[in-house]
Amino acid sequence: MADLDRHEVQEQALDRDCTTLSRHVLQQLHSFSSQAQDLSAIMNRIGLAAKLIARRLSRAGLMEGVLGFTGDVNVQGESVKKMDIYANEVFISVFKQSGLVCRLASEEMEKPYYIPENCPIGRYTLLYDPIDGSSNVDINLNVGSIFSIRQQEGNDIDGEAEDLLQDGRKQVAAGYVLYGPSTVLVYSIGTGVHAFTLDPSLGEFILSNENIQVPQHGPIYSVNEGNFWQWDESLRNYIRYVHRQEGYTARYGGALVGDIHRIFSQGGVFLYPGTVKKPEGKLRLLYESAPLAFLMEQAGGRASTGIQNILDVVPEKLHSRAPLIIGSIEDVAMVESFIQKGTKTLDETVMARS
């Protein structure tokens, strides 16, 4: 190889190694404006939170006080894990004294948490699910964190944060961290979806997959079929349809982030529908469904409640839930067609589509 070529190859390799999260945000915005600097710094802090959480998870079985429950029940009525609390506090700590985020709202806190020293300079709110899929923590399977950034509107400095009760198109940025064999951070600021892998030797998230596109159709259907008899007949019909067709395969890991990460690369659909007892389903709009829907649309997919685009849903409360059907555009449309046909028989629904 000529010296010049070798030099170019080395330069490209170095450039790739230096494409960190904060630099990537600035590149995406083609600007050093104060908003671009803010978003870059916010993403950098989220990366720090992810590293702290990943570090604790990686040694969980060796340390005291990491695994198991706290004995408390959160505002959702769910038993709280020690890792839920640790991760919740990590996000608060990394944003203290940042001048970036005035408010944080999470699954683990009944009301938004204000960081007075950041207000009113910090014009953003961070919404987050600190540990998603926390039932997987104690068995050393993948878990995640989900985040969403919204511009703070009005002068709410310690109120009920009513300005957050708006649709998902108000999100400025969204993403998730997957704590798996490697730690991967996926984000979007409305300019495509990009993945970064934590290089432990550098302690940095390095660009590993730019402009992710979800296939238009895929083989995966991901749903907790244990709830089959709790669903509406129309959903049961969709599942019966999938069982009868060739080319579908079931995957369900009990952690939304992992299940959706698989769909980003292989295509298909993830569903958490409402049940007879819980028509709104389980997943929370502001810090679970809406950020994932934002990412999925940016990657060319869709997210729906079955009758409405998730990004158009306006939550009534901070912790509102909604049914979620998310993934490849054709697979989401297929589920919607079953739901919208209501209780027609399976054969009638398939006939109506053909």
Q: Which stretches of the chain bind ligand AHG, using CB under 6 A?
A: 78, 107, 129, 132-134, 224, 254-256, 282
Q: Which is nearer to Mn ion, 135 or 337 (CB)?
A: 135
Q: Which is nearer to ligand AHG, 95 or 176 (CB)?
A: 176
Does 259 engage in binding with Mn ion (CB under 5 A)?
A: no
Q: Is 125 helix (H, G, I), strand (E, B) or coil?
A: strand
Residue 331 interacts with, from Mn ion, ligand AHG, none (CB under 5-8 Å by kind): none
- Find tokens 């982030």 and name the residue: 257
Among residues 38, 129, 232, 336, the one that binds Mn ion under rule CB under 5 A: 129
Angstrom CA distances, 292 to 22, 58, 258, 326, stand at: 21, 25, 12, 8
Q: Report, in Å, the least distance between residue 132 CB and Mn ion.
A: 3
For residues 272 and 278, the answer to whether their CB atoms sit within 8 Å is no
Residue 255 interacts with, from Mn ion, ligand AHG, none (CB under 5-8 Å by kind): ligand AHG
Q: Which is nearer to ligand AHG, 164 or 257 (CB)?
A: 257
Q: Report, in Å, the least distance between residue 216 CB and Mn ion.
A: 27
CA distance 35 to 111: 27
CA distance 313 to 290: 9
Q: Residue with CB nearest Mn ion? A: 132
Does 232 engage in binding with Mn ion (CB under 5 A)?
A: no
Q: Which is nearer to ligand AHG, 2 or 139 (CB)?
A: 139
Q: Report, in Å, the least distance between residue 179 CB and ligand AHG.
A: 13
CA distance 306 to 235: 10
Does 132 engage in binding with Mn ion (CB under 5 A)?
A: yes
Size, binding site for Mn ion by CB under 5 A: 4
222: tokens are: 């991901």
Angstrom CA distances, 80 to 68, 108, 284, stand at: 9, 8, 16
Q: Which is nearer to Mn ion, 25 or 292 (CB)?
A: 292
Q: Report, in Å, the least distance between residue 45 CB and ligand AHG.
A: 21
Helices (H), 30-117: 34-58, 82-95
Among residues 107, 156, 204, 336, the one that binds Mn ion under rule CB under 5 A: 107
Q: Report, in Å, the least distance between residue 128 CB and Mn ion.
A: 9
Q: Which is nearer to ligand AHG, 189 or 220 (CB)?
A: 220
Strands 204-209 vs 194-199: parallel, antiparallel or unpaired: antiparallel
**Phi and psi at residue 204, to the nearest 5°:** -130, 150
CA distance 220 to 63: 36
119: tokens are: 């207000």
Residue 254 interacts with, from Mn ion, ligand AHG, none (CB under 5-8 Å by kind): ligand AHG
Q: Which is nearer to ligand AHG, 150 or 282 (CB)?
A: 282
Reference 131, options 81, 180, 171, 94; nearest CA is 81
- Find tokens 């509107």 and name the residue: 153
Question: CB count, 10 Å around CB of 241?
Answer: 19
Q: Report, in Å, the least distance between residue 44 CB and ligand AHG.
A: 24
Q: Report, in Å, the least distance between residue 184 CB and Mn ion.
A: 17
Residues that bind Mn ion (CB under 5 A): 107, 129, 131-132
